[in-house]
Amino acid sequence: MAEPISYSIKQQLATMAIILLFIFSAVSYWGANKYGQRAAQLSYDRLLTGAAFQMAENIRLQEGRVIVDLPRSAFDTLALAPDDRVFYAIDIVGGAHITGYEGLPESDNQEAAPSMEGSVGQLPVSFFEADYSGEPVRFVTVERVLKDLGVAKTVRVKIGQTLLARNGLADGISWRALQVVGGIILVALVVIMFGIWMILRPLNKLNLALGKRSPVDLKPLNLNVPQEVRPLLQTINHFMSQLASTLDGLKRYTGEAAHQIRTPLAGLKSQAQNALNEHDPELRQEQLKRVVECTDMLSSTVSQLLNRAQLAHRLRSESFNDVPLDRLIEEVCREIAVSALHQGVEVAYLGHASVVISGDLFSLKQMVRNIIENAIQYSPKNSVVEVDLRSEPDSDGPVISISDQGPGIPEEEREHVFEQFYRSPNNPRSGSGLGLAIAQEVAAHHDAHLQLKDNFPRGLTVEILFHGKATR
């Protein structure tokens, strides 16, 4: 049988926690990176917009000519990003170039993706990005309509700035966010590992408590454990209680069995020694007959003990199946009919019902066999043991009745005959005292009840009542 696969709960919990933290850190870093890029772009877009507006406000139309007075403050604003290069151009829309860099790129609606379009005050503003002079550049465009003496011209102010400063700001924000996320993950990992240790601590306590127990100490464990571990503790205590009960029963049964085997062995030894020392052939013959009787009694006792042990195992391990009671009884009657005839007793099966119940075939067969053999043993010669099976529609379940014509059992002894190794003091016949005890145990396991009744005019009837067991 292959060993079951062993796995670590601690390792599984830690792996799941690390995976979740990794996903959280990746999502957090992605979000922080997006936020940093957005914040840097918005900040520097506002600088570009401010500079463009300052230039646009200092452009005027005089006698049909466009006069440009570039303010120093606009370049001071752009100088806040000292590592970036700045490009500007002022043009008349649909006309000539006025000042600044000629040939600055235009916005291409198919390629450019303005991040912000709108108007500040009354001046339309738009943004776009393009490569210029071998570098990526962010451009802002502001248009202003100039009017003077019935003449109107639209001028366009275009300012471009390289992306070094805004990229550096975005990277700085992302790096700081990554540091914060890393610190949170480190702290969370420590807390999670401590939490896993705390969660598994009750299991370790339970393991240590069981490891310190001696093999014979089956007292219930009394530990303070969480609610989730409580069912496991209760199951362990229940198992140890069952084991203690089984061991106590085995101890009692072993002691009683040893006593029962010791008695016929002592008689066997005594009769054999007497036969060795006896010179009278007739007396020696009688002593040898008693040796045979003691041997038969010992054999019967050992056989019953072995059956008892086998039944005890089956009743704890075997599952129930459909058992046809009528065929089971017929088979048992056929098996013991010959030995019964040798004792001058006839076995008659009177049942006509067809009944199927749920149970263990082997143990049910032993129960019926023990009761019938017990009836044969106490029946006088030339008598009949009658076996019947009834299944009436208004009854609680099928009933097996076994009747003999023997001496019967006194009323005051009937509550004791189902005890193991019980022998009536007034009973001259030999026996192990286990037959009815085994039958009672099998009946109880099948939710059945054994009942003793007088058989008129004389004898005993044993009824086995199965409570609601018939399946058809």
Q: Which of 35, 9, 308, 20 is nearest to 176 (CA)?
A: 35
Radius of gyration of the chain measured on its C-alpha atoms: 52
What's the DSSP call for residue 5?
A: P
Phi-psi region of 204 (alpha: psi -120 to 50; beta: other; left: phi over 0): alpha
| C-beta separation of 379 from 347 below 8 A | no
Tokens, residue 369: 């066999």
Looking at residue 420, its pLDDT comes to 63
Q: Tens digits of per-residue pLDDT, 414-444?
A: 777 777 665 554 554 555 556 677 788 888 8
Looking at residue 113, its pLDDT comes to 37
Q: Which of 310, 430, 322, 302 is nearest to 366 (CA)?
A: 310
| C-beta separation of 105 from 130 below 8 A | yes
Q: Tens digits of per-residue pLDDT, 96-120?
A: 888 888 888 887 653 333 444 444 4
Is 166 strand, coil or helix?
Answer: helix
Tell me the CA distances in angstroms from 161 to 36, 165, 188, one per residue in order: 18, 9, 42
Residues of the chain falling short of pLDDT 50? 1, 110-121, 425, 428
What's the DSSP call for residue 381?
A: T
Looking at residue 151, its pLDDT comes to 78
- Residue 103's identity, in one-letter code, is G
148, β-bridge pairs: 151
What's the DSSP call for residue 470?
A: B
Q: Tens digits of per-residue pLDDT, 378-413?
A: 888 889 999 999 886 666 788 899 999 888 887 777
Pick the CATH number of 319-472 from 3.30.70.2190, 3.30.565.10, 3.30.70.990, 3.40.190.10: 3.30.565.10
| DSSP structure string for 102-114 | TTPPPP-TTT---
CA angle 136, 142, 148 (to 5 degrees): 150
SS3 content of the chain, % helix, strand, coil (to 5): 50, 20, 30
